[in-house]
Amino acid sequence: MVSNPQEQMKVQKMNIEERMSKIGKKIAIGSGKGGVGKSVVTSLIASYLAKQGKNVGILDLDITGPSIPMMFGINEKPMGGGSGIMPVLTESGIKIMSIGLLLPKNEDAVIWRGPMISNAVSQFLADIIWDELDYLLFDLPPGTSDVQLTLMQNVKLDGFLVVTSPQILAATIVKKAISMAKELNVRILGVVENMSYAICPDCGNKLKVFGNGEDNKIGIPIVGTIPIDPQISKLCDEGKIEEYEIDLGGIYKILEGL
């Protein structure tokens, strides 16, 4: 057993490198802004990739506000052993890991300071047994702090998908996340605009409820849009997000081309 802290960090880093070496493409999905639907976007992209026959995993890194397990209807506890922790499988075979799966109850709060959160992220990266995946999606919490820094310093990401909504306020904060990724030399793949529009049930026209996202001038191309659709909320609440059908072919082509 390694007792020296420096040796422990060295072993942990080696374990992270070994786990990540089996994964094809590692994509972070974040925003900097809360409430724009990062977890929804992550879930929809993962579900779309799985429908294309890809082996996909999601690591929910929103330590204090995990929502991925509920969206997929997962209550099963991960199995652990001497070699690590096994992620839980969804209905379509997506591998999921979240601190929400380790809590006694969904509503239990995780009241941790920054260093504890960073340590939890590092331990997840080192201990989870993903085996071979085509894609591993990292669902990031709001902000540009401990979780984002720990991930980007420990994992060589293949790209960062930025999630926003059409409001100028959201875009202003999203720019901070873009700046962070650039500072850490992470490739920005584009912007996914969530709540981009609604379809009028009477005339079928697209309604820009929250404004025109093209006016936000984020400076990064919009590579995908997701509508305001009550069906998305319904399926998330029922734990059946995998059943939602949406064409994310534009995002898929970008990820395939990495």
- Give average pLDDT by consecutive 10-residue segment, the chain, 258 residues: 75 94 97 90 97 97 94 92 92 96 84 90 96 97 91 96 87 88 94 90 84 69 93 96 95 95
pLDDT of residue 173: 85
pLDDT of residue 214: 59
Cα(89)–Cα(132) distance, integer angstroms? 14
CB atoms within 10 A of CB 76: 10
* Inter-CA distances, 166 with 31, 50, 158, Å: 13, 28, 26
Q: How many CA atoms lie within 13 A of 125 on its CB side?
A: 29
pTM of the model: 0.94
For residue 109, what is the domain's CATH number?
3.40.50.300
Which residue from 175, 126, 178 is spatially nearest to 150, judged by alpha carbons?
126
Which residue from 171, 138, 166, 125 is spatially nearest to 32, judged by alpha carbons?
171
For residues 104 and 110, the answer to whether their CB atoms sit within 8 Å is no
Cα(13)–Cα(67) distance, integer angstroms? 27
Q: Which domain holds residue 207?
A: 5-256
How is residue 67 written in tokens? 């929502």
Q: How many CA atoms lie within 13 A of 55 on its CB side?
A: 9
Cα(159)–Cα(231) distance, integer angstroms? 29
Length of the chain, please?
Answer: 258
Which residue from 248, 151, 143, 251 is spatially nearest to 191, judged by alpha carbons?
251
pLDDT of residue 8: 84
Which residue from 257, 241, 256, 254 is spatially nearest to 44, judged by alpha carbons?
241
- Number of domains the chain is built from: 1
DSSP code of residue 190 = E
Cα(202)–Cα(66) distance, integer angstroms? 37
pLDDT of residue 170: 82
pLDDT of residue 56: 98
